[in-house]
């Protein structure tokens, strides 16, 4: 066990964990941030996606020791002052989920895409979201939600 200080959703959090424990496990089981989901545990489904320095990252594949000195954002960190992020609001408005298990990862992948590409084409959206699997098959609505979020987000300075 070692102590790590993680920058999670803008807060400095102290946690004790084995250095090779996955960030996913630390978030869910030690920090009680259960919005990040466990799907396959081997980088194939995207359910565990979080932002590391703004990049969509599979937290099941990242050791907690590698996440030190990065800015980690989970689904719990997107809403600010009671207001959903543009991507969260767009997913709600488009009804882009059924069971919702894939939704946190989808929203964080979409957030990462829209930080890089303000007005993505449908092809760019599909490519960026390709590694996030939805067992319920809500892909058309997810694509519609990302397009809606692009319209909602300010062109510059969108941080979440």
Q: Which positions lie near ligand FES, rule CB under 6 A?
A: 38-41, 43-48, 58, 60, 97-102, 134-136, 138
Query: Closest distance between ligand FES and the C-beta of residue 27, in Å?
Result: 12
Query: Closest distance between ligand FES and the C-beta of residue 100, in Å?
Result: 5
Query: Closest distance between ligand FES and the C-beta of residue 75, in Å?
Result: 14
Helices (H), 70-138: 86-94, 103-116, 122-129
What are the angstrom distances between the C-alpha of 145 and each of 3, 148, 149?
Answer: 39, 5, 6
Query: Closest distance between ligand FES and the C-beta of residue 20, in Å?
Result: 16
Question: What's the burial of 63, exposed, middle or buried (CB within 10 Å: 0-12/13-18/19+)?
Answer: middle
Residue with smaller CB distance to ligand FES, 23 or 153: 23
Contacts of 150 (CB under 8 A, 6+ apart): 114, 118, 119, 120
- What is the residue whose two structure tokens read 């800015």? 71
Residue with smaller CB distance to ligand FES, 38 or 84: 38
Residue with smaller CB distance to ligand FES, 47 or 150: 47
3-state secondary structure of 52: strand
Residue with smaller CB distance to ligand FES, 10 or 140: 140
């Amino acid at each position: 066990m070692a102590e790590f200080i993680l920058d999670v959703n803008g807060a400095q959090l102290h946690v004790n964990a084995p250095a090779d424990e996955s960030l996913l496990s630390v978030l869910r089981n030690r920090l009680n941030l259960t919005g990040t989901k466990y799907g396959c545990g081997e980088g194939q489904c995207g359910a565990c996606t979080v932002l590391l320095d703004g990049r969509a990252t599979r937290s099941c594949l990242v050791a907690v020791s590698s996440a030190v000195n990065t800015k980690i954002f989970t689904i719990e960190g997107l809403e600010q002052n009671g207001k959903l992020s543009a991507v969260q609001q767009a997913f709600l408005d488009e009804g882009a989920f059924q069971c919702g298990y894939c939704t946190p990862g989808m929203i964080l992948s979409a957030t990462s895409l829209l930080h890089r590409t303000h007005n993505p084409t449908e092809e760019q959206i599909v490519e960026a979201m390709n590694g996030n699997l939805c067992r319920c098959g809500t892909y058309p609505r997810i694509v519609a939600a990302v397009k809606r979020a692009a319209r909602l987000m300010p062109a510059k300075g969108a941080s979440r």
